[in-house]
Amino acid sequence: MTLIYNFDTTATSPILPQVLDQYVRSLKDENLNPSSSHQGGLDAASAVTRARRKIARALDASEQAIIFTSGGTESTNHALKGAAFASARLPKRLIITAGEHDATRQCAVFLKDKLEYDVDIVPLTTEGTVDHKAFCNALKKAPAGLISFIAVSNETGAINNVDKLVRLSRQYAPGAFIHADIVQLAGKLSFSFQRSGLDFASLSGHKFGAPKGTGALLVRRGANLVPLIDGGGQQEGRRSGTENPPGAVALSEALTLQSEVIEKHLDKVSSLRALFFDLLNKKEVPHRVLSPTDGSPYVLSIAFPGIRGETLMHALSSDRIFISTGSACGSHHQGKNDVLEAMGYSKDLILSSCRISFSPFQSEDDVSYLVDRIAENYKRYALTM
């Protein structure tokens, strides 16, 4: 079997072995329709209920807060569009940041084009976090009905201060609904939905070891949403469609397992990241770190001046080493990175950038091999831009 060195786990992480085992068992034992009234359906519904309970415990949320979805993109769409459709009295103004995932950006386009929302995009600091002064100015500028920000950048790992952003939002836009994209936070950093003060939070299972197509939207009690999917009235009418017991079980298992070892995994990932820089410096490979020093250790944006990030990505790929040149959802825009541009980086530096993800399931040998191949390919391809 050919070894794969996956340093692109920000895009998607492998299914955890324990989760895969549980998922397969669920496909065999609990894959009936939870809406059926026979005993098999009741058993499947019980599996979904248990999964919801475990997720609530892991994220410090009520069980009623959880809507199962297909992932972060659907959850974000449901939160922003659902709140806009449900609240005719809301001011038609949305505030987002320049650091958002494409799902949030495209929701903003939809609200602007289809529902005549005004959209304000708050700039970032050079560290990649939300500019708090600009955020306050946007809040004071005019009444806002919706506010959305990313908790941890999927491009750089920059960590936004959720507590402060929520506090400012409540102070200057008390009637607004607040949504956070916690896709790169859930299962990796500590989080309490109850204490966050958020109205909505979106997460995606395949970012922390669950199968693709699993995710959830957390909804605060009293936060009104129009469902985007109508049908059989599943999940209390909030998201119709036959529920997926194996997916719900796998999502809850992965989130529970990851939440139990957050600090241990943070230490491991931080150590691998430090080793990467030590080895890179020993190899004397020219580079510039674009991620903030106090960001998530799971995500590293780094540039290697003299070689295109795309060239390095493809060269490493031939050795079955996988990195990226940014978010997989934005990969069709080669050579363009809205987040890095918002941080003030030049086009040439962005062209030289790539994103490397660190995982607690990588080894020091994996990191050493990655650096060896980067060094070799840099010597081979540098200055060919």
Contact at 8 Å (CB) between 87 and 179?
no
H/E run at residue 216: strand 215-219
H/E/C letters for each residue in 169-195?
HHHHCCCCEEEEECCCCCCCCCCCHHH
Q: By C-alpha distance, which of 188, 212, 204, 202 is closest to 357?
A: 188
- 136: number of Cβ within 10 Å: 15
103: which residues sit within 8 A by CB, 6+ positions away? 72, 73, 76, 77, 181, 202, 329
Contact at 8 Å (CB) between 163 and 155?
no
Contact at 8 Å (CB) between 12 and 327?
no
Clarify whether 329 is annotated catalytic: yes
H/E run at residue 97: strand 93-97
Contact at 8 Å (CB) between 258 and 208?
yes
Contact at 8 Å (CB) between 226 and 80?
no
Cα–Cα distance, 248 to 7 (Å, whole number): 27
* Conformation bin of residue 327: beta by default, left when phi > 0, alpha when psi is -120 to 50: beta
Q: By C-alpha distance, which of 253, 275, 263 is closest to 53?
A: 253
Out of 107, 136, 329, 354, the active site residue is 329
Catalytic annotation, residues: 329
